[in-house]
């Protein structure tokens, strides 16, 4: 029987069939799943949907869905032109300038064109003090904006802008529709019109914001499929962690950062996917006022920072789900992060030495200011300090009163706070470490450090910048000035039907849904 | 009676002025420049920008002048914009007030429907099983905080049984069934404490009335016990109950803050608390104005109910 079978004749159609099937099956595999309504739980409602006017780090969970950046960046803050509003960029010297070539064919949600005039309008609006725009401080380096052609724009700079691309990857680099701003005036903040993958459908203040797909979105994934995949996204405010967990389990919410107490259970639950990002936020930082006694004495600051046992705090308060800070304010995963730097660590023996060197062998007393949610951590620190004879008085104020009392009036020796993730070192450097920095409580003149920070902000070569910021980081930590204690790990959890969690978090730890899909 | 009602309504005006001014002044007792509250702890505006914000919101003026600006705007029907997020306060209150009213009314109805019969049964069966049972539950309801009851309700009915939603608000005029489902747990959590207090008050008042001579006379005349209790005793017991109902109105609206936050309901309570934390004068003033007016109207309704329940009470204006 076998003799009569011509294998050559069989082989050909089988081969053709295999190629045919692999082509279609392969295509089907590459084709993402479109549609679906993603419901997300977040603890805070935004202060505005206009990224330029919003005041809170939580706002980015909302405005990021409706915006793009002039320069987009990956999680390590490396610029990526394929997802940016600018197709290319170029720094020039004498005079210093940054020239952006803009993507063509991009429109705002209201149908108006995104072009060089729109960029100039947006940057001028940020720079105008009357707008009271949040990113203005980072943009005052731009002296003027020239429109070179319909899709080419030049930022004239007062000095080289090494941090410029990173700044354009943050809120200041998002673009609003000039026509919508002029039409809506003060109502624009809750009716923001941008270029991003989703559009605002409904805003119910204090409750939720409903986004729908921007059918004209220009963005594509790496396989050339149009974005976004989802039809709708609702971001709902869920303040209580227990309720957030309950809502995830009951299926009323599809995606959230798991509360610390429940993160382990979600990670072990086969019904859920999870993705973790280390140092998504600075969970606990102590900041000293260098001009305020008794912590104007470096040895006494070191006595404090070496008394704090971060492992104990992590286990006691965060169920071991966070990580103990291994460096300074440049977070894990950022190019400036350097875990090999010497930093204060828990060492009771050294504390005794520092107290002696500081002239207070029997301990001393000082006051710390913070907000309510920080109190449990501060009570643990208070007990740890007490073991070394250091008495810490805790004052709990609202965030605004802290800013005024600590950073403007310099009333407190120390503040304990948490901070959003800022991978661009100049952001923290300029605000916290410069002599006139907004969050530099003591505001003591330090021309050498100022010059170093200016240099870091001016250099464009990342390796050169690394060296500068390593020096800054070492100095600040050696001074026990701004000392992170705990980095917060974000654990995003979602039922199995939600795909693409690994694309969820941006360089600042905030969520972005343009590559998320649902089965 | 008409004169009395008009007088009471007119009194609402000076009372709300005094209340809103006191609240405005109290907000200035918080240390620190309020402009820092507007921008929050994370935004770092420079002095030029801060000065512009101060001028825009009249923060560079004395307290009394600031209040005058606000009051003048209110007389023109303009409640201003939130200083922290730019939303129109009037629009926000118009959107949020129905949520809080609905929650308050549902909690109130739940409390009355459960507690008044429970109080009557408890009094009628004094010292017996039903009385002990009602007392046990009422003490429990007073002792357990609203938020804890809410979380237990969410875990039991939302997660374990999956019967009720755990979050959000649905307008009952758009979707009555979902609206009701979303309201059951919050109304239960909010109404329980009032339920217990009203039940105890009803029981106590009923016991007092049931011991009166005219009740004994009614029984001796051979009237049905149900008629004696529900017609002759209940109406005369209701006066102190109505007093406590009036007082509970204020408590329910105050406690709504916690319940709204827990269940993610966009009500006035949550709005006002965020306004206080952000020292958002216009939000707080607008919310206080609305809530104070509401409580005053509820008190007026209570007074009118007194006259209806006890014809001996006369209001001469």
Q: How far is A294 from chain B (nearest CA, A)?
A: 23
Chain B: residue nearest A204 by CA?
B266
Task: Say yes or no to pLDDT of B160 above 60.
Answer: yes
pLDDT in tens, A293-320: 999 999 999 999 999 999 999 999 999 9
Q: Does B96 touch chain A (CB under 8 A)?
A: yes
Q: Does B84 touch chain A (CB under 8 A)?
A: yes
Q: Does B53 touch chain A (CB under 8 A)?
A: yes
Q: How far is A128 from chain B (nearest CA, A)?
A: 9
Q: Which residues of B, range 143-202, sit inside 8 Å of A by Cβ?
A: 147, 151, 154-155, 158-159, 162, 165-169
Put simply, the answer to whether A240 touches B261 (Cβ < 8 Å) is: yes
Q: Which residues of B, range 11-30, sit inside 8 Å of A by Cβ?
A: 30
Of A132, A134, A246, the CB nearest to B155: A246
Residues in CB range of A27: below 8 A, 6 or more apart: none
The answer to whether A96 and A142 are in contact (CB under 8 A) is no
Put simply, the answer to whether A243 touches B34 (Cβ < 8 Å) is: no
Give contacts of B85 with chain A, Cβ < 8 Å.
46-48, 189-190, 205
State which of A241-245, A498-502, B106-110 shows the largest mean pLDDT.
A498-502
Put simply, the answer to whether A204 touches B159 (Cβ < 8 Å) is: no
How much is the pLDDT for A13? 62
How much is the pLDDT for B315? 66
The answer to whether A275 and A502 are in contact (CB under 8 A) is yes
Integer Cα distance of A491 and A241 in angstroms: 13
Put simply, the answer to whether A134 touches B43 (Cβ < 8 Å) is: yes
Chain A: residue nearest B268 by CA?
A206
Report in angstroms the alpha-carbon separations of B86 from A191, B63, B295. 12, 21, 28
A-B CB pairs within 8 A amount to: 157
Q: Does B47 touch chain A (CB under 8 A)?
A: no
For residues A156-166, average pLDDT: 94
Of B36, B158, B274, the CB nearest to A400: B36
How much is the pLDDT for A8? 56
Q: Does B281 touch chain A (CB under 8 A)?
A: no
Task: Say yes or no to pLDDT of A22 above 90.
Answer: no
Give contacts of A404 with chain B, Cβ < 8 Å.
31-33, 36
Task: Say yes or no to pLDDT of A29 above 60.
Answer: no
Put simply, the answer to whether A55 touches B39 (Cβ < 8 Å) is: yes
Integer Cα distance of A456 and A427 in angstroms: 11
How much is the pLDDT for A402? 85
Question: pLDDT averaged over chain A?
Answer: 92
Of B33, B52, B151, the CB nearest to A130: B52
How much is the pLDDT for A405? 87
Query: Distance between alpha carbon A125 and the CA centroid of its chain, in Å?
Result: 23
Q: What is the band of B294 on the pLDDT scale with cuts at 50, 70, 90? A: confident
The enclosing H or E element of A493 equals strand A482-495
Q: How far is A416 from chain B (nearest CA, A)?
A: 12
Give contacts of B31 with chain A, Cβ < 8 Å.
397, 401, 404-405
Please report where in the chains the tokens 């997020």 appear, as a residue: B85
pLDDT in tens, B2-27: 788 888 888 888 888 898 899 888 88
For residues A461-483, average pLDDT: 96
Overall pTM surpassing 0.80 (yes/no)? yes
Give contacts of B81 with chain A, Cβ < 8 Å.
186
pLDDT in tens, A216-254: 999 999 999 999 999 999 999 998 898 899 999 999 999
For residues A132-157, average pLDDT: 96
Q: How far is B160 from chain A (nearest CA, A)?
A: 8
Give contacts of A206 with chain B, Cβ < 8 Å.
96, 266-267, 270-271, 274
Q: How many residues does chain A have?
A: 519
Put simply, the answer to whether B32 touches A400 (Cβ < 8 Å) is: yes
Put simply, the answer to whether A250 touches B84 (Cβ < 8 Å) is: no
Give contacts of B33 with chain A, Cβ < 8 Å.
404, 408
Q: How far is B302 from chain A (nearest CA, A)?
A: 32
Q: Is the peptide bond before A427 cis (omega within 30 degrees of 0)?
A: no
Neighbours of A461 (CB within 10 A): 9
Give contacts of B278 with chain A, Cβ < 8 Å.
400
pLDDT in tens, A324-353: 999 999 999 999 999 999 999 999 999 999
pLDDT in tens, A372-393: 899 999 999 999 999 999 999 9
Q: How far is A129 from chain B (nearest CA, A)?
A: 5
How much is the pLDDT for A15? 58
Put simply, the answer to whether A129 touches B274 (Cβ < 8 Å) is: no
Give contacts of B44 with chain A, Cβ < 8 Å.
134, 137, 431, 438-439
How much is the pLDDT for B8? 80
Of A55, A129, A242, the CB nearest to B40: A55
Put simply, the answer to whether A249 touches B165 (Cβ < 8 Å) is: no
pLDDT in tens, B50-89: 899 889 888 888 989 999 999 999 888 889 899 888 899 9
The answer to whether A516 and A229 are in contact (CB under 8 A) is yes
């Amino acid at each position: 029987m076998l003799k009569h079978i011509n294998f050559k004749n069989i082989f050909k159609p089988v081969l053709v069939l295999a190629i045919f099937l692999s082509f279609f099956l392969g295509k089907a595999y590459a084709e993402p799943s479109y549609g679906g309504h993603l419901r997300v739980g977040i603890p805070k409602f935004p202060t505005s949907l206009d990224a330029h006017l919003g005041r809170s780090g939580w706002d980015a969970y909302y405005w990021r869905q409706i915006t793009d950046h002039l320069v987009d960046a990956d999680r390590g803050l490396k610029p990526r032109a394929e997802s940016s509003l600018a197709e290319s960029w170029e720094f020039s010297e004498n005079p210093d300038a940054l020239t952006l070539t803009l993507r063509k064919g991009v429109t705002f949600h209201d149908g108006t064109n995104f072009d060089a005039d729109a960029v100039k309008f947006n940057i001028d609006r940020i720079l105008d003090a009357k707008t009271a725009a949040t990113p203005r401080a980072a943009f005052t380096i731009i002296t003027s904006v020239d429109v070179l052609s319909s899709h080419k724009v030049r930022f004239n700079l007062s000095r080289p802008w090494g941090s410029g691309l990173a700044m354009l990857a943050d809120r200041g680099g998002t673009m609003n529709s000039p026509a919508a701003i002029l039409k809506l005036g003060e109502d624009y903040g809750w009716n923001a019109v941008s270029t991003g993958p989703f559009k605002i459908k409904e805003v119910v203040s204090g409750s939720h914001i409903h986004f729908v797909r921007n059918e004209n979105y220009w963005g594509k994934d790496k396989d050339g499929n149009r974005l976004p995949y989802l039809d709708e996204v609702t971001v709902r405010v869920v303040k209580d962690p227990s309720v957030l967990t309950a809502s995830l389990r009951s299926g009323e919410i599809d995606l959230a950062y798991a509360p610390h107490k429940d993160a382990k259970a979600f990670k072990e639950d086969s019904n859920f996917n999870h993705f973790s990002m280390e140092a998504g936020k600075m969970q606990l930082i102590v900041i000293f006022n260098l001009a305020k006694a008794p912590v104007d004495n470096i040895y006494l600051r070191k006595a404090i920072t070496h008394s704090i046992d971060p492992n104990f705090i992590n286990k006691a308060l965060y169920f071991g789900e966070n990580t103990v800070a291994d460096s300074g304010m440049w977070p894990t995963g950022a190019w400036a992060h350097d875990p090999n730097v010497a930093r204060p660590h828990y060492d009771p023996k050294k504390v005794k030495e520092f107290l002696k060197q500081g002239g207070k062998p029997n301990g001393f007393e000082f006051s710390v200011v913070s907000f309510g949610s920080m109190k449990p951590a501060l009570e643990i620190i208070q007990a740890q300090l007490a073991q070394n004879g250091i008495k810490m008085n805790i004052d709990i104020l609202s965030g605004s009163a802290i800013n005024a009392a600590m950073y403007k009036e310099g009333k407190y020796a120390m503040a304990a706070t948490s901070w959003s993730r800022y991978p661009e070192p100049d952001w923290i450097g300029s605000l916290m470490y410069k002599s006139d920095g907004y969050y530099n409580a003591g505001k003591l003149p330090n021309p050498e450090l100022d010059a170093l920070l200016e240099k870091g902000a001016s250099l464009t070569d990342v390796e050169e910048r690394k060296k500068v910021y390593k020096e800054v980081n070492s100095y600040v930590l050696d001074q026990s000035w701004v000392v992170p204690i705990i980095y917060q790990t974000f654990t995003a959890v979602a039922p199995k039907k939600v795909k693409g969690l690994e694309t969820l978090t941006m360089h600042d730890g905030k969520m972005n849904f343009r590559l998320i899909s649902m089965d | 009676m008409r004169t009395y009602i008009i007088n009471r309504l007119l009194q609402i005006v000076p009372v709300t002025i005094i209340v809103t001014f006191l609240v405005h002044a109290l907000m200035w007792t918080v240390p620190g420049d309020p402009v820092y509250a507007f921008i929050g702890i994370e935004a770092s505006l420079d002095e030029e920008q801060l000065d512009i914000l101060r001028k825009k919101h009249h923060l560079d003026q004395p307290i009394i002048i600031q209040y005058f600006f606000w009051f003048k705007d209110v007389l023109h029907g303009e409640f201003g914009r939130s200083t922290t997020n730019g939303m129109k306060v009037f629009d926000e209150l118009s959107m949020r007030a129905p949520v809080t009213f609905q929650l308050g009314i549902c909690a109130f109805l739940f409390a009355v429907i459960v507690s008044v019969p429970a109080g009557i049964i408890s009094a009628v069966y004094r010292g017996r099983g039903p009385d002990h049972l009602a007392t046990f539950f009422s003490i429990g309801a007073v002792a357990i905080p609203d938020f804890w009851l809410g979380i237990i309700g969410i875990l039991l009915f939302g997660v374990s049984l999956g019967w009720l939603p755990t979050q959000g608000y649905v307008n009952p005029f758009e979707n009555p069934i979902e609206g009701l489902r979303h309201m059951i747990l919050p109304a239960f959590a909010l109404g329980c404490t009032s339920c217990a207090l009203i039940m105890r008050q009803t029981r106590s008042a009923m016991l007092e009335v049931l011991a009166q001579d005219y009740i004994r006379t009614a029984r001796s005349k051979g009237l049905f016990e149900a008629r004696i209790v529900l017609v002759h005793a209940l109406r005369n017991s209701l006066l102190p109950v109505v007093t406590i109902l009036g007082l509970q109105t204020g408590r329910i609206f105050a406690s709504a803050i916690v319940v709204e936050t827990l269940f993610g309901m966009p009500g006035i309570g949550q709005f006002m608390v965020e306004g206080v934390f952000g020292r958002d004068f216009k939000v707080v003033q607008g919310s206080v104005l609305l809530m104070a007016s509401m409580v005053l109207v509820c008190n007026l309704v209570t007074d009118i109910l007194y006259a209806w329940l006890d014809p001996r009470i006369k209001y001469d204006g």
